[in-house]
Structure 1
């Protein structure tokens, strides 16, 4: 196993455990306010200090890990569930269907992800679950193009020709022959896509189009801390560093996974 994958896996596992146990191990309720404890610096009572409403930043950061990871994992799962089947069909069927779908994907890819996410959310009241849908929708074209390219490469292989000669149905060829051979590369892309999903979800919350107060989502916490950066930098520092650590962990794991299973080079790690 590559060292990157090991280090990233350990960090990511620790973050996931924190996210799951956060609401139970947090010393305070994430929305518990105290006027007398406003803007307190880090101390034994409040490890990461308190915010402008007297809420414990450490507790909010712990609980916020759950929502930030939910956005990253949920959005990535959505993009895979929608994008992989569409990419398989486009790469295998080709023709007019492929042309129409790929032109639509090109239009979506031509737009900046943050702009596409804002357009998706602008039509309704923003919320955390809608942010998951928006981020997942943004990354569907990427998954479609990747899956289509892999399918085009595999469609003319001898084992696919043999399946056609046996008169196998299209769904059998796609799911039993092509997908297992394409999946390692798709899994690597999906693991790296989690990073972008977390950052985009945080950006949408920062702009007020994702999770809404009093949610402790990290992007929303950073947004709320903007007016107090000079007075109480710890309010933004805790969620910001937590997000950076999560992104580093996912990137290390994804890079290690790419080294461990790369069907184009036959690499099996070092």
Structure 2
């Protein structure tokens, strides 16, 4: 048990830059306290001491603001940041290294007995205020944006946002990118990170996302044309000078962070003013 506590505290340093030292995390993170209370109540639940398990769960809710049913199954290094308002239902299953922010609900959509709450595979991150409802599965390393309502499965490695939730990035299995392109996307993801609050100016708005996808398509077409040109040149032709690549940063260069925060209308107005 104490080894698990040390492991939980160590995992916080990787996910919360505000964590400064061991004692601070041990005493001031109610999300961790709720998880530790749950481990006790879950053990009692498995021993069929269900009233006592529920009573300890209720005490934990009073103290931490986090409600975790003692029947829920939770993996290692689970982290609830801020904690307040999180609700996790009885048949929920959570894998290793998952992260939930405040206001998240893993709820059910049926009054019937049996599996009625979500299953989160390892590495899942769910943003503040999101609701995942019903016996759905969020695949490994799946991401759910703030205030989303998800009622269907999320593929591994995919991101889902909105009400109802919709996919905004393809899963790794569905992707048609080659390994070099996947590594580039991974590097960009590591640079920008997953923004749990969906307000970071580093994360593009829907217009910028559409532009980014168009640029991806253009770059792929450029690579195909370059391959055709090389084949023609090997046959004795002399075609296709070197093409410069178009990057998202080039398009976004003239757009300020304030423009991104206030939306595409301000960007259009700013462009008109510059003209």
Q: TM-score surpassing 0.5?
A: no
Instruction: Compare CA radii of gyration and give the structure with the larger one.
Output: 2
Q: TM-score, normalised by structure 1?
A: 0.25
Q: TM-score, normalised by structure 2?
A: 0.25
Higher relative contact order (CA closer than 8 Å, sequence separation 6+): 1
Structure with a larger share of its residues in helix: 1
